[in-house]
Chain A
C-alpha cells in the first residue's frame, strides 16, 4: 500500500557533508556540514544557512516530525529565549528515493549534560537542575509536559553555564499519554505512577537525573519494591546525600510544581558545602560533633590548671631564691 511506504518501510535519508538541501516549498538552501546525532524520529545534521549555523532534522516519517514542528513552533511563538531551540523552517527534501520531510532549528552548541556533571562537584547537578526547573515550570504553565527527559536531551552551553533542552520529540500536552520515554527516567517502568502527561511525570525524571550522575551506566529494576531499590541505590552514593529529600519526594510524586522543587533545591545548595572535607563532617551526626567539642574544652581547662600550677611552682621557686638572695645581702 502506498500509505505504508511513506511511514515505516522507507529507507532513512543519509546526507553527506557539503551536500545541499533545498526545500520543495520554501526553496531555502542548506549546506550540510556534519551529522550531530540521531533519534527515534530522524537524524540531526549541522548545516549552514547563509552565514548562520543551524541544526537540520530529516526524517523518513512525516507524521512524527510534523508533531515536533508543531511543538517547536508553539514555543517559538509564545516564549522568549531558552525554552528549547528556536524554530526556523520546515520543508520537504525531494530525492530520487522519495520525499523526506525536514525541519530546521537553532543550533545549540554545548557540552553533554552527563559528562559535564560528572567532571564537576555534586553541586553542579543541583545548579543545572535549578535552571532546568525554571524552564520546566514555564512549560508546565503553558500546558505541556516534556516527557522524554534525560541527559541525552540536554546540553550545557557556555558563558554563562546554562542548561538547555534540544529534543522536543517527547513533548506532550498535559492530560494526554506520554508519547516517548526512556525506561530509566519513566515512572511507569518503575511502577511508581502512570504515563499520563502531568507535572509530576517530569519531576520524577528530574529526580532520576540526580541519581544518574552517580550511576552513568544506569541500572535495571529488581523485584517489586522499586521505591526501596531506588532509595537504597541513592544512599550508596555519599556525594548525593544532600539531595536525598529532593530525590525521595521527586520519585514519590510529592511535588505539586517544579517551582516548589526548585525552591527546596536552592535552599539545599545554599546551606550545603559540597567539598569533600565538609562532607565527612556531615556524615557524623551533629551530636557526636558537639560531644567532641566539649571534650576538647574540658581538656583545655585541665591544661589551664596544669599551666597555673607550673607558674605557681616557678614563682615560688623564684620567690625562695629571691629570699635567699636577700638573706645573703643582709649577712
Chain B
C-alpha cells in the first residue's frame, strides 16, 4: 500500500466570520476527521482587527494546523512555508504518538537523546517528501478581498511549483466563499497542479458576509466524499507501520 495521504485545508481570509456556525468548532471537527486546517490572514495596510486575528489563530489551533498573518505582498512564500511546516508537523505528531507508545506516556521526540532524534528526523523528512498530499484551498472572496485576489492567485501558482517538486503525489482543489447560492463555489475540481488560474476568481461576490464556519463545514464534507469515493474511508489517517518504520 502507499504511504497514505496527508490532508489539509488551507483557508485564506482577511477578516472575521460574521454568519453561520463557529468556524473554530468546525475546525476541531476537521481535525477529528484527520484533516489539518491551516489559516493565512491577509492584511492590507496593517488593518486586521484583534478579533479577526484571534479567530484566525483559534481556527488553526483547533484544526491542528498553523496560522500566519501576512501582508499580501509576502503571500507566496508564506503559503508554501505554512503548507510545508504543517505537513512536517502532522508527520511529527504521528511519530511522537509512536514514541509514546514505545517509551511510555508523556515521552516524545525531545526525550530522546539528540543522536537518535537526528535519525528520526531523517524519517520525518523522508515522509514529508514522499507522502501524497490533498490540499483543499478555501479562499474568502468577500468584497474586501477584491484587491488581494491577484496576489492570492500568484501565491497559489507558486505553491503548485513548490509542491510539484516533491516526490509524492499532490492534488489541489480550489473553492471560494461565500458562494452565489451555496456556502462555497467550486472554482477548480481536484487537479494535480495549477497551471493557470487566470479567470478563476471571476465569479466574485460583493456581499459583506463572511460565512467561514459554513464554508469549512462544506470543505470537510467534500473531503469526506472524496475519501469515500476512493474506498478508503475506514482509517485514512496514515499509519506508521505502513511506512515500514
Chain B CB within 8 A of A1 CB: yes
Complex formed: what's the CA distance from A177 to B160 in Å?
Answer: 12
Contacts of A67 in B (CB 8 A): 121, 125
Per-position binary interface string of chain A over residues 47-70, scored 1 when its CB falls under 8 Å from any chain B CB and 0 otherwise = 000000000000000110011011
A2 to B166 Cα, complex, angstroms: 29
Q: A189 — which chain B residues lie within 8 A by C-beta?
A: 76, 158
With contacts A178-B165, A194-B161, A195-B162 taken as known, whether A66 is within 8 angstroms of B110 at the C-beta atoms is no
Taking a contact as CB atoms closer than 8 A, the residue among A2, A6, A70, A194 that contacts B118 in the complex is: A70
- Which chain A residue has the least Cβ–Cβ distance from B31? A1
A63, B92: Cβ atoms closer than 8 Å: yes
Q: Which of B75-132 contact A (CB under 8 A)?
A: 76-77, 84-85, 88-89, 92-93, 96, 108-110, 113-115, 117-118, 120-122, 124-125, 129
Q: Contact: B121 with A176, CB < 8 Å?
A: no
Query: Contact: A3 with B92, CB < 8 Å?
Result: yes
Interface majority SS (helix, strand, loop, mixed), chain B = helix
Q: A101 contacts which chain B residues (CB < 8 A)? A: 110, 114, 117
B114 pairs with A69, CB closer than 8 A:
yes
Contacting pair B164 A66 (CB below 8 A)? no
Q: Which residues of B contact A3 (CB under 8 A)?
A: 89, 92-93, 96, 108
B109-A6 in contact (CB<8A): yes
B178 CB to closest chain A CB (Å) equals: 30
| A–B pairs, 25, beta carbons within 8 Å | A1-B64, A2-B108, A4-B64, A6-B108, A6-B109, A6-B110, A63-B109, A63-B121, A66-B114, A66-B118, A70-B118, A70-B122, A91-B114, A99-B110, A101-B117, A175-B167, A176-B165, A176-B166, A176-B167, A177-B129, A188-B161, A188-B165, A195-B164, A195-B165, A196-B165
| Interface residue range, chain A | 20 to 34
Nearest chain-B residue to A197 (Cβ)?
B165
Counting CB contacts under 8 A, is B24 at the interface? no
Q: Chain A contacts of B88 at CB under 8 A?
A: 63
In the bound complex, CA of A2 to CA of B114 (Å): 19
Q: Are A73 and B118 in contact (CB under 8 A)?
A: yes
Flag whether A183 is at the interface (Cβ < 8 A): yes
B140 at the interface (CB under 8 A from A): no
By a CB distance below 8 angstroms, the chain A residues around B166 are: 176-177
- Cβ distance B166 to chain A, nearest Cβ, rounded Å: 5
Interface residues of A (CB under 8 A from B): 1-4, 6-8, 25, 62-63, 66-67, 69-70, 73, 90-92, 99, 101, 175-179, 183, 188-189, 194-197
B interface residues (Cβ-Cβ under 8 A, vs A): 61, 64, 66, 76-77, 84-85, 88-89, 92-93, 96, 108-110, 113-115, 117-118, 120-122, 124-125, 129, 158, 161-167
Most chain A CB inside 10 Å of its own CB: which residue of B84, B92, B161, B164: B161
A99 CA / B113 CA spacing, docked (Å): 12
Q: How far is the CB of A187 from chain B (nearest CB, A)?
A: 10
B163 to chain A: closest residue by CB: A177
- Known A66-B118, A177-B162; contact A8-B89, beta-carbon cutoff 8 A: yes
Partner of B129, one of A2, A8, A176, A183: A176
Pairs of residues from A and B, 5 with the lowest C-beta to C-beta distance, nearest first: A177-B165, A66-B121, A195-B165, A196-B165, A90-B114
How many Å lie between the Cα of A67 and that of B85 in the bound state? 13
Cβ B77 vs Cβ A183 within 8 A = yes
Residue among B115, B124, B165 making CB contact with A63, cutoff 8 Å: B124
**Please, which residue of chain A has its CB at the minimum distance from the CB of B130?**
A176
Contact B113 A25 (CB under 8 A): yes
For residue A220, give the distance in angstroms from its CB to the closest CB of chain B.
9
The distance in angstroms between the C-alpha atoms of A183 and B80, with both chains bound, is: 12
Q: Identify the closest chain B residue to A196 (Cβ).
A: B165
A7, B92: Cβ atoms under 8 Å?
yes
11 further contact pairs, Cβ within 8 A, besides A3-B92, A92-B114, A177-B166: A2-B108, A3-B108, A4-B89, A63-B92, A63-B121, A66-B114, A67-B125, A70-B118, A177-B163, A188-B162, A195-B162
Closest to A70 in B: B118
Most buried by A among B113, B114, B125, B166: B114
Q: Given the complex of chains A and B, what is the CA–CA distance between A177 and B166 in angstroms?
A: 5
Complex alpha-carbon distance, A4 and B77, angstroms: 22
Instruction: Please indicate the chain A residues that have their CB under 8 angstroms from the CB of B76 in the complex.
Output: 183, 189
Provide the bound-state CA to CA distance between A4 and B108, in Å.
Answer: 12
Which residues from A are CB-within-8-Å of B96?
Answer: 3
CA distance A287 to B62 in the complex (A): 73
Q: Which residues of A contact B161 (CB under 8 A)?
A: 188, 194-195
Interchain CB contact under 8 A, B121 and A70: yes
Give CA–CA (A179, B110) in the complex, Å: 22
Instruction: Tell me the complex Cα distance, A6–B77, Å.
Output: 23
Closest to B120 in A: A66
The minimal Cβ–Cβ distance linking B139 to chain A, given in whole angstroms, is: 21
Asked whether A25 lies within 8 Å of B114 as measured between CB atoms, the reply is yes
Q: Would you give the shortest CB distance from B78 to chain A, in whole angstroms?
A: 11
Q: Which residue of B lies closest to A182 (CB)?
A: B77
**From residue B105, how far is it (CB to closest CB) to chain A in Å?**
11
How long is the Cα–Cα vector from A6 to B95 in the complex, in angstroms?
13
Chain B residue numbers with a CB within 8 Å of A176 are: 125, 129, 165-167
